[in-house]
Chain A
């Protein structure tokens, strides 16, 4: 389940940056870009809170 959340989060991040690269390359228009970035935002904020802080918490565990 956690792996699925991480994959969806990564798709969200990808949708936040890749459409902008495609606009720069002249492959898609600005309207499509902003729509895809909006979807990417929803995917990221919908999934990342469930796993992202756990990683930092583990890193902060005392040395044994």
Chain B
């Protein structure tokens, strides 16, 4: 670790096990910029095109995005922010007070693994841009395994550099991400605007016809499943499920001066998850037209074709600026499980796992499914926090059970997690319900199961005497 970073760490108090004091709370501008930047990332270069590949119709796409994004903003504003600003604690400490530190350790390992795969997909996205001058064989929609030795080398080099930066200077990367965010948003818009004439749009009045006939045609590519309005709505709502109803953003929003700042997530939803998805979808449609519906799926060359070197650099920065903090967060999550290991060693291991995962383009091609799975797996813990905060007192259940009953492992929480995911798996396999639709019933199952198990396994002292 550099001297500069060590010095910075000595003076920065992260309030990991205490509420954030008033003096450390942050203004609205931080959150507006943070949400806009964090949700305009490398994933946007993949998600927009995948909706085109899955044959979403234009009306379904726009209506689904608008409604899904509104629901996501409401989830942040009405569920996450009120708890975050009332408690002002990290997700991990809040969970520890409810479930006990051993339970949180399991959560941390699962969380870290998910972070590794997410960062891995971003490194793979960056590799598609870095590989342009080396004429690398790019993956196709059906590619799951590494395409060539050159691909593996490109991924490993990017993974190594990303990990090195995560070990040495995360603060500088965060500041660089602030710099890159406004520019990236403009590149997304500019690239799409410049490519529209190639699709036949020379006036805005022509856009809707071309959108229906050429871009979001309602016909999926060969070998790809068909998506409907409901897929778009639920994906837009739940692609950040781990963060809003999964409560990961307690850690961020505990710094908010007001609970209303949760609604500032609209900047991320309507810039990153609306404009950027539309733009990247347009770019991919133009690529499909010019390549005679090639099955190649590589954000780097697609952006380069529309915006030149700025487009390729945008893909590298978007991928890298997402992968970097994700590796850092995964390292922190594991550090909580192995406190005796040095942070840089944990981060190095996380980087190694991430780089290995990134070699497999399946992570990019199946990103929609992976993002949905990632949210679903972590969501039950958010439901537990919600139930503990709002419902436990009403049902005579002790709040923050582990803290008040001195538990290191809450069976109620553990079995809530298992039962919820078990039922969701059953709904997926048994009834064939798509993974995108499982978050909503899963949340209610988790809340109900937690309340019942808490009541049965940990009756209040008065009830126990009866």
Contacts and interface: CB of A to CB of B under 8 A. Distances in A.
Interface of A: 12-13, 16-17, 19-21, 23-24, 26, 30, 33-35, 37-38, 40-41, 44-45, 48-49, 52-53, 55-56, 59-60, 62-63
Nearest to A60: B26
Contacts of A49: 175-176, 179
Contacts of A35: 308
B190 A38 contact: no
Interface in B179-224: 179-180, 182-183, 186-187, 189-191, 193-194, 196-197, 201-202
Contacts of B30: 56, 59-60
B25 A38 contact: no
Contacts of A45: 179-180, 183
A34 B309 contact: yes
Contacts, number: 93
A16 B33 contact: no
A27 B202 CA distance: 11
A55 B175 CA distance: 12
Contacts of A53: 175, 178-179
Nearest to A52: B179
A29 to B, nearest CB: 10
B257 A63 contact: yes
B178 A60 contact: no
B58 interface: no
Given A52-B179, A59-B26, A20 B189 contact: yes
B23 A17 contact: no
B57 to A, nearest CB: 24
A9 to B, nearest CB: 9
A41 B197 CA distance: 23
Nearest to A35: B308
A1 to B, nearest CB: 18
Most central of A13, A37, A45, A59 by chain B CB within 10 Å: A37
B46 interface: no
Contacts of B193: 17, 20-21, 23-24
Given A23-B193, A56-B178, A16 B183 contact: yes
Most central of A20, A45, A53 by chain B CB within 10 Å: A20
B44 to A, nearest CB: 17
Contacts of B26: 59-60
A41 B180 CA distance: 10
Given A34-B307, A37-B310, A49-B176, 6 more contacts: A19-B190, A19-B194, A20-B193, A24-B201, A59-B26, A62-B23
B268 to A, nearest CB: 16
Contacts of A33: 194, 307-308
Contacts of A13: 182-183, 186
A18 B202 CA distance: 16
A63 B29 CA distance: 14
Contact of B310 (A21, A34, A52, A56): A34
Contacts of B309: 34, 37-38, 41
A37 B22 contact: no
B459 interface: no
B441 to A, nearest CB: 40
Nearest to A62: B23
B179 A48 contact: yes
Contact of A62 (B24, B180, B183): B24
B424 to A, nearest CB: 39
5 contacts: A13-B183, A16-B310, A17-B190, A21-B193, A38-B310
